Amino acid sequence: MVEQLFGSKTRVKLLQLFYTNPNRAFYVREITRKIDEQINSVRRELANLLSAGIIGSDTTNNRLYYEVNKKYEHYDAFLSIFGGSSPKKSKVIKDDARDGLKALGKVDVALYTGSFTRDESAGIDLLLVGDINAHALEKYVAELETKEGRDIRYTVMTLDDFRYRRQIKDRFVSNILEAKKQILVDKDNVLGEE
């Protein structure tokens, strides 16, 4: 039904991708893999969304990236429609990264930053907090590096260590928390703690 309202199955999948990942930028081939649509229809719908001001684009390292425009006048309304994590939406958008976290053990916090959000101030690309299985982590990172086509800089720490470093205003943790990020997991609202 949503496809009928918005006129295109590809457009709906794009909106779901962008609004479920509001701090992440994507390039065209990555988008076509994630939403499983033809590149020509993706390019056409990206042009439509760009001209409407729903998304923005930027070139980095000779690649054109697209991301949601948070200043779009109907951003909040679109976020409430497309930004939730209902089971229907997770089937449409292939997010192997989030699904693969379950195999790592007890993950209290997982977030993308750095090259995923094009904000290098954090110094890393992936932060994992919790009781993480080292062997499963190696496999997870190797698969993520293969999928993304680049090395992933990551940091793992226990929940106690994270809380302590946050409490003493550790520069590394502070930089991560202040950087642009995409939160994959935040059990018990750890990132929202005072």
CA distance 128 to 126: 7
Radius of gyration in angstroms for the set of CA atoms belonging to the chain, rounded to a whole number: 17
39-48 burial code (b ≥16 CB/10 A, e <16): eebbeebbeb
Is 111 strand, coil or helix? Answer: strand
Alpha carbons 185 and 98: distance in angstroms, whole number: 8
Please state the rounded mean pLDDT for residues 185-190. 87
Does residue 11 sit in the same domain as residue 89? yes
Q: Is residue 131 helix, strand or coil?
A: strand
End-to-end CA distance of the chain: 41
115 and 160 together in one domain: yes
Find the range with the poorest average confidence among 33-42, 79-88, 172-181: 79-88
Whether 76 is in a domain gets the answer yes
Tell me, yes or no, whether 50 and 37 share the same domain. yes
| 21 located within any domain | yes
Residues 6, 42, single domain; the answer is yes
DSSP state letter for 20: H
Judge if 28 and 51 occupy the same domain: yes
Q: Per the domain annotation, does 194 fall within a domain?
A: no
86 and 53 share one domain: yes
Backbone angles phi, psi at 51, to 5 degrees: -70, -25
Does any domain span residue 123? yes
Are 89 and 6 in the same domain?
yes
Neighbours of 132 (CB within 10 A): 19
Confidence of residue 20 (pLDDT cuts 50, 70, 90): confident
Same domain, 73 and 155: no
Q: Does 178 map to a domain?
A: yes
Range of the domain at 81: 2-93
- Average pLDDT of the residues of the chain: 85
Domain-terminating residue out of 73, 93, 113? 93
Q: pLDDT digits over 108-140, tens only? A: 999 999 888 888 888 899 999 999 999 999 999
Among candidate residues 78, 93, 108, the one where a domain is terminated: 93
Tell me, yes or no, whether 73 and 127 share the same domain: no
Range with lowest mean pLDDT among 1-5, 125-129, 133-137, 170-174: 1-5
CATH of residue 80's domain is 1.10.10.10
The verdict on residue 144 lying in a domain is yes
Domain tally, the chain? 2
pLDDT digits (tens, 9 = 90+) for 82-100: 876 443 333 334 455 566 8
* Domain C-terminal end among 75, 93, 111: 93
Indicate whether 107 and 76 sit together in one domain.
Answer: no
Judgement on whether residues 172 and 104 belong to the same structural domain of the protein: yes
Is beta strand 26-27 parallel, antiparallel or unpaired with respect to 126-132? unpaired
Q: How large is the average pLDDT for residues 64-91?
A: 74
Predicted structure pTM score: 0.64
Q: Are residues 129 and 182 in the same domain?
A: yes
Read off φ and ψ for residue 170, nearest 5 degrees.
-55, 130
